[in-house]
Amino acid sequence: MKKPIVLVVMDGVGKGDGGSGDAVAMAKTPTLDKLLSTCPHTYLKAHGTAVGLPSDEDMGNSEVGHNALGCGQVYSQGAKLVGESIENGTLFASQTWKDLVENALTGKAMHFLGLLSDGNVHSNISHLIALLKGAKTAGVQKAYCHILLDGRDVPATSALEYVGQLEAVLAELSEEGFDYAIASGGGRMQITMDRYEANWGMVEAGWRTHVQGQGRQFASAAQAIETYRAETGCIDQDLPAFVVARDGAPVAKIQNGDSVVLFNFRGDRAQEISLAFDRKDFDKFDRGDYTGVKFAGMLQYDGDLNIPENYLVQPPVIQNTLTEVLCQAGITEFAVSETQKYGHVTYFWNGNRSGKVDESLEEYVEIPSDVVPFEQAPAMKCVEVTEVLVEAMKSKKFGFLRCNYPNGDMVGHTGAMAAVITSMEAMDACLQKVLDTADACGYTVLFTADHGNADQMTEEKKGKVSVRTAHSLNPVPFIIYDKDNDWKLRDGSYGLANVAPTVVKMMGLTAPSCWEDSMI
């Protein structure tokens, strides 16, 4: 190994078109500009088939991106896994599905909770529709949907399209003796879908809405969306919670003993609500008179922590990760990020594995994220993350260090252009501190990203330019900074899974035969 290596993941920083919607280009980023003008670099595919998703129309996300970065291989992921399981029938043949249905056939209701869109990042409406039709085929008479509005992985104000599509299916399934309906909902950044225990209040708000039927009542989900938009001006992800009512009472609350499916397939924003349903010793908020339901996730969101206990689709078993290879070689590792992306440089990086591969060789540090809207504090914790990373570099204890700056992704999702530009500039200042330390202490530094976001903050549809809050399909940079060695990148078309093989080759190690090619 010529030098120890630092890998910096600039979350959500892709290669945009350089126009007015490209916050990366609009920001003053002298460090990143210098790296791109003076260092060996290329651009990596970070979406679609390159990260195991069904097609190249599917945007990448932080989970599959870090899986690919950390394992050097491409696995079938999320939407693709679920789609295959539905298509070949293994989902409906699973014991978990049979148990849910059998329970509902005793007179209980079956509930479907999740993100209503076709963004293919957390969920897909086609999966929900397949589950509803499967329930009807099995004879389940009462099925209710608790919908979380997206506007983040899809256009910002597209909720009515998905509600209309779902309502048409529910009407078709609600023949005499069957009641299939939307029961509750709200914006994904207001209720239910918190992650990494950053804001349990969001989860509690979802619980009050879906389980206890508390909240403002409307005759339909469409009426709720239209009313809230007129009153608040909010985009879909920020719309308040609502309860659909008939004759002054909620259409359906999730009752003790019912069957409940969380149809999201992505794990980070599914774990907390899963714990609320699944754990008898749950103590994050008062669940009232709740005694339990028959609950299942679409996938198991954390296998080591057994979240949830029951699930419909078996996850990929990711083996031969970079961390495993480095630990086998006795190389010490360090990982740091703030709460919002800490799981990405640990759990997802290590192939959906909680904990460490080798306690004696690995050290992880989590910087607590602030519980404030990201546009109000766009620098996030980049300064604190940098301070910890720099100290670890100065210690010279580690052969491989990695960090994640969440700025481009988390602030990018707000759609607030000025805040995103500020976030990019704050991150760029931190990158210079990493470079200064690398020069002083003798490190090679690699820069990349897990997907794009801040690079495409607007989109044009039907001649109208609107705010874009979703990830982009743009490639992401891969840059090698090393003032002492002249690394050469080979010509070729590469994706995120080519990063780990490149790291291993730089270290003089042999990559597993199942890995993608090195870029050097």
Annotated catalytic residues are 62
DSSP 8-state secondary structure symbol assigned to residue 156: T
Q: Identify the helix (H) or strand (E) that includes residue 461.
A: strand 458-461
CA proximity to 269, closest of 203, 208, 329: 203
Q: Which two tokens stand for residue 87?
A: 């298509």
The interaxial angle of helices 125-137 and 95-104, nearest 10 deg, is 60
Residue 289 one-letter amino acid: D
CA 249 → CA 144, 246, 503, distances in Å?
15, 5, 59
**For residues 379 and 367, what is the distance between their CA atoms, to the nearest angstrom?**
14
Give the Å distances, CA to CA, from 284 to 191, 202, 203, 275, 276. 15, 11, 9, 10, 8
CA distance 33 to 487: 19
Closest CA relative to residue 215, chosen from 198, 230, 228? 228
3-class secondary-structure state, position 148: strand
Q: What is the CB neighbour count within 10 angstroms for residue 356? A: 17
Task: Fill in the amino acid letter for 90.
Answer: T
DSSP string, 209-240: HHTT--S-EESSHHHHHHHHHHHH---GGGPP
Reported for 80-84, long-range contacts at CB under 8 A and 24+ positions apart, including other chains, are 80/52, 80/53, 80/54, 81/265, 81/299, 81/313, 81/315, 81/316, 82/124, 82/127, 82/265, 82/298, 82/299, 82/313, 83/54, 83/124, 83/126, 83/127
Find the Cα–Cα–Cα–Cα dihedral 511, 512, 518, 520, rounded to 10°. 20
Other CB atoms within 10 Å distance of the CB of residue 464:
7
* Residue 237 near residue 149, CB atoms below 8 Å: yes
The Cα–Cα gap between 183 and 90 comes to 28
Going by their DSSP bridges, the two strands 242-246 and 249-250 should be labelled as antiparallel
What's the CA gap between 501 and 89, in Å, rounded?
36
Question: In the numeric block, which tokens belong to residue 34?
Answer: 């210098």
List the Cα angle 145/205/380 in 5-degree steps.
Answer: 115
The 8-class DSSP code of residue 302 comes to B
Over its C-alpha atoms, the chain yields an Rg (Å, rounded) of 23
